[in-house]
Amino acid sequence: MKIAFSTIVCHEYTLPRIAESARRHGYDGVELYGIEGEKLTPDLLESRLDDVRRDMAGIAVPAIHSWTYLDYRNDDEQSANSKTKLKSQWMSTPVEGQGARAKMIGKAMELAAKLEIPLVKFFGAFPPDDLSLDDAFDAMAETVTPLVKRANELGVTLMVETHDGLPRGLDVHYLLSRVDDPALGAVWDTFHPHRCGEDVNVTDELIGARTVHVHIKDNERVPGKYLDRFKGWNPVAPSEGEVPNKEAVALLHARGYDGYLSVDAERMWEPPGTYDAPEVIMAQYAKAMREYIDAA
């Protein structure tokens, strides 16, 4: 396995500073998420292609974010039913309509291919109350299937994360089981299945074989607080919280996983002082992730 950090940890950094930090702390790669205080959307990435090529030369970039999500309805149905719109502080997007969002994911894949970045991430919305799970995920699979075909043509892999509307391995499995193609995989964010009460062994059984990327973070519960999303959880240094990072790495190692473990401490979205400084986070997680790999 290899180690990386997402620039969610250091969203205010310039590209040269990001590359310098990766070298200093011995990371194998960098997942591009935010730069210079902005979300690295496909539109911004398109305007910075030459900068990325120049400033990240010699640093592997395993993944980028499409900065959009997929829903469970076509555009007409969505317009008539606003309940399906995702409300999330992390995934606010000006792109409206399932077709427009699919185009944005397609654009992200094309840019990734130009930069030889192998992985492109998207999120799933929350299933609507008025559709059965089978109907909801059948509809999402219809949207994903042509995107997966395009991913195969471009030589990239599309990946959906255990996050937002699909926080558990079970939720992601509903989609993956409908699209049996290696060009669609999972980002296993170790925190979200755990906070939802899904045992790490169950997550591994459901999505371990389709995991193409791993997000590592650690958090601890705040007693008496509401535990939905991040409410009721505080970030802590790796191995000081309760997220089963070491166990997840061991399970993936047993499967022969040889991709990246990527630091995903969500500093970009939290008030100043919630997290340590980026260089502290990078140093702590580089040490911890190497220990997880050695133990596995």
| Residue whose tokens read 């010699």 | 58
Secondary structure (3-state) at 81: coil
Nearest Cα to 243, choosing from 195, 203, 285, 187? 195
Distance between the two ends of the chain, CA-based, in angstroms? Answer: 10
Half-sphere exposure of 163 (CA within 13 A, CB side): 24
Which residues, given as ranges, of the chain have pLDDT below 70? 74-96, 224-231
Report the distance separating Cα 218 and Cα 190, nearest Å: 9
Q: What is the pTM of this model?
A: 0.92
27 phi/psi in degrees, rounded to 5: -80, 150
Q: Are 1 and 213 in contact (CB under 8 A)?
A: no
Q: Check residue 231 and give its pLDDT.
A: 67
Task: Locate the domains of the chain by residue range.
Answer: 2-295
Q: Which of 156, 151, 257 is nearest to 204 (CA)?
A: 257
pLDDT computed for residue 138 by the predictor = 95
Give the pLDDT score at 79: 46
Residue in the structure block whose two tokens are 């906070």: 195
Instruction: Please tell me whether residue 80 adopts helix, strand or coil conformation.
Output: helix
DSSP notation for 20-59? HHHHHHT-SEEEB-EETTEE--HHHHHHTHHHHHHHTTTS
DSSP annotation of 269 reads G
For 244, other C-beta atoms within 10 Å of its C-beta total: 19
- Quick one: which of 231, 224, 233, 173 has its CA closest to 198? 173
- Is beta strand 157-161 parallel, antiparallel or unpaired with respect to 211-216? unpaired
The reported pLDDT for the residue numbered 86 is 41
Architecture of domain 2-295: Alpha-Beta Barrel (3.20)
Tokens 């995702």 correspond to 86
Q: DSSP label at 117?
A: -
